[in-house]
Structure 1
Amino acid sequence: MGKNPGKQKLKRRHHTVPRLLLRRFADGERLVRVPLGGGEPRTVGVGDVTVRRDFYSMRTEDGQLDDTVENLLSELEDQAARVIRKIIKDGLWPLPVDDRAILGQWIAAQHVRIPAVRRANNEIFDQFTKIMIAAGGKPEMRRLLEEHSGEPVADEEVDAMWQEMTDFASYEAELSVNDQMLMMGRSMETAYNAMMNRSWGLCRFERKALLLSDHPVTLMRDPRQPEWRGVGLANAAAILVPIDRRAAIIMEPPGVADHKLPASAKVARELNHRFAWNSRVELFHHPDDNPLAGIELPPVKSTEAEFSQTAEDFVRPEGLAETT
């Protein structure tokens, strides 16, 4: 794709935070990037941040790159841009049903398209794969080797492969991008349904400004829930989404009609604190703003999933038979 006459050029540089949102926090095409981990803030171009090569590109059966997903995300971004303009420029709120649905789809996409979700999927897949190897032991290793080769394998070959595959720290198992995109599609539908069922509040600021996280959708924990339960779309006290440097949507539990929320310096500070701590690597703001005043930045977050047990806990060289 992208090389044949009549075909559009393949899109290779993919924004994990859409340009539409980045521009809402920019002075034209420039905004301030604040790296986590102690780096200095710098003014950068919208086109140069949150870019990953082929991040949403699937592979066709013949091995060619396919940027269909990136194109679909771009089309949704164009539709959402028109809705956000109505909110910010025209003061439209609450939204008509059709516009609400478009913005709901776009926000759902922001929740599932981020690198953190892909990392979490890979971490879970990696752990599950290694547990299966550990629990299956050498008998399962032999079965797989013989299935692949079509003939019996020597004990020495099984031992060598077992030694290699149980050195769990030396490798990581990852899902294919195709599998990640299929999971993203299913997760987006789930997120959309959960968000559309909530009550949406719009909070607009006259003077105070918001920052933008590299992971724009923030889930607010319900303090009544125990820490071990975690926070997700179903049990979040609120879902916080900045749509402009001076506006955020706050999705609350269902029960009341969409409404406007009071804005204040205290509210802006609370939102910015939560947005900052939802960042993984970097955050952004308008060159004229200082939304991080008084806010301590979080460290870089390099992992997403936590496990009470690891693959090492399941190692059974003789397979599950040794425990029966």
Structure 2
Amino acid sequence: MSTDPGKQKLKRHHHTVPRLLLRRFADGKRIMRVPLDGSGPKPIGIGDATVRSHFYSMQDATGRRDDTIENLLADLEDQAARVITKIIAERVWPLPIADRAVLGEWVAAQYARIPAVRQANNEIADQLLKMEIAIGGKAEVRRRMEAQGDGPVSDEEVDAAWAELTDFSSYYVELPVNDHLLTMGQAMATAYKAVMARSWKVCRFERKTLLLPDHPVTLVRDEDEPEWSGVGLANAAAIMVPIDRQAAIIMTASGGPDGMFPASTAVANELNRRFAWNSRIELFHHPDDNPLAGIELPPVRSVEAEFSQTAEDFIRPEGFTETA
């Protein structure tokens, strides 16, 4: 039976937390999964953890998928795995500049590739479209209908569409996957510059162990920032990333040299508390470890973007005017 040598089988199962991290928190094949919905911890295979179907697959106009992005992420993961092995097994630190650049790119990818970013982008796109409809009124609905159709539409058709489109809770807008992947690439470039500018500290533990959140890059809010402001790579007081069950990298303010972060039981507990609260639906740890002792788990996080006002606040059938 002959096969087409130019046609390769697609990778359907994509890990949103890279395998290299999962392996460092596993006993070889299994890792302990702790859901945040209260259903109880359970050991699972590494191959089954944080898997989503075609999460990083590009699509062409016909809907055909390709593995370009997934392959690039896998290649970066292989490079980062060698650097992390140097840090953990060979105890190399500070890193040579080339290795530091590889790990910086990998950290940037972990920040940009997570499901939370995609969900936040969808939530923003959903709200923006609904805002346009609410503010534009029936005239905006008519414009959209005529742009998508072959000609003028009746008032009755516009009224029916307006009633349907302003029932905002009945539908949800999602961006095309290619838009997400393009945004991911742009976010990686921005994140890389931010993490490379910081001072890196490695924190190693001899007895204490760490947990692995389903969103590995954890930001620490600067206490001097106002409560209403968000926290991002640029204004975070620190960026924390677990790289092994007994090691984490803590990126502090820019300007200082890379070095060591003092390890203690209190530091391990604080890292684990912050890692736990950065999780969205689940977290992981080595089956023999108990890094959650004394830590209250967060609820499942179902919303990423918060809006002070929503589309419902701006519904105007006649459209928005300066006197409205």
Aligned ranges for residues 218-229 of structure 1 at < 5 Å? Answer: 218-229=218-229
Question: 1:316: how far off?
Answer: 1.1
**Within 1, Cα distance between the matches of 2:124 and 2:208?**
40
What whole-Å deviation, never above 9, does each CA across 1:201-238 have from its counterpart, x for those lacking one?
00000010000000000000111211111211111010
Report if aligned partners of 2:201, 2:260 keep a CA contact under 8 Å in 1. yes
Match of 1:264 in 2: 264
Alpha-carbon shift at residue 72 of structure 1 (Å): 0.4
State yes or no: 1:295 paired with 2:286. no
The answer to whether the aligner puts 1:174 opposite 2:174 as a matched pair is yes
Partner of 2:101: 101
Contact 1:14 1:70 in 2 (8 A): yes
- 1:150 Cα deviation after fit: 2.3
User: What SS does structure 2 have at the residue aligned with 1:202?
Assistant: strand
SS at match of 1:229: coil
- The answer to which of 314-323 and 276-285 deviates more is 314-323
Tell me which residue corresponds to 2:283: 283
Q: Partner of 2:228: helix, strand, or coil? A: helix
CA drift of 1:148 comes to: 2.1
Letter in 2 for 1:314: F
Q: Which residue of 1 is the match for residue 31 of structure 2?
A: 31
1:82 corresponds in structure 2 to 82
Aligned to 1:41: 41
Query: Residues 1-324 of structure 1: matches in 2 within 5 Å?
Result: 4-321=4-321, 323=323
Cα distance, 1:147 vs structure 2: 2.3
SS of the residue corresponding to residue 95 of structure 2 reads: coil
Distance in 2 (alpha carbons) for counterparts of 1:140 and 1:45: 51
Q: Secondary structure at the match of 1:215?
A: coil
Deviations 1:121-150 (A, max 9, x none): 000000000000111111111122122222
1:198 Cα deviation after fit: 0.1
Q: In percent, how many aligned pairs have the same letter?
A: 69
For 1:149 and 1:38, locate their aligned partners in 2 and report how far apart those are by CA, in whole Å: 49
Cα contact 2:197–2:255 (8 A) shared by 1? no
Equivalences, count: 322
* Maintained 8 Å contact 1:316/1:322: no
CA deviations on 1:27-59 (whole Å, 9 max, x unpaired) are 001110001021110011000010000111111
Moved more, 259-268 or 138-147: 138-147
| Aligned residues: CA RMSD | 1.1
| Greater Cα offset, 147-156 or 69-78 | 147-156
The 2-side partners of 1:60 and 1:256 are apart by: 46
CA distance in 2, matches of 1:86, 1:9: 33
Distance 1:31 1:148 in 2: 50
1:272-297 Cα distance to aligned partner (Å, 9 max, x none) = 00000000000000011100000000
Output the CA distance in 2 between the equivalents of 1:165 and 1:209: 51
Residue ranges of structure 1 left out of the alignment (5+ in a row): none
Question: Residues 216 and 241 of structure 1 are in contact (CA less than 8 Å); yes or no, is this contact kept in structure 2?
Answer: yes
* Partners of 1:241 and 1:248 within 8 A in 2: yes
CA contact (8 A) 2:19 2:46 kept: yes
Q: CA deviation at 1:323?
A: 3.6
Secondary structure of 2:240's counterpart equals: strand
